[in-house]
Structure 1
Amino acid sequence: MKQFIWILYFVLAARICDATPVKREGFSWDSVKSWAIQDRGRVKPYDTFARESVLYITGKTQWKGLGANEVTFGWLVSLDKEWQDEEFVRIDYKPLKDALGLEVKRQYFRPSELDSVPALNGILREAGQKEARKERLSSLERKA
Structure 2
Amino acid sequence: MRARNVAVLLTVAVGVYLVLLAGRAVALIRDGSVPAVVLGLGVLVLPVLGVWLVAATWRSGARIQRLARRLEDEGGLPDVSDLPRRPSGRVDREAADDWFARRRAELEADPQDWRRWYRLAHAYDVAGDRRRARATMRRAIELEAADR
TM-score tier after normalising by the smaller chain length = under 0.3
Q: TM-score, normalised by structure 1?
A: 0.20
Higher strand share: 1
Higher helix share: 2
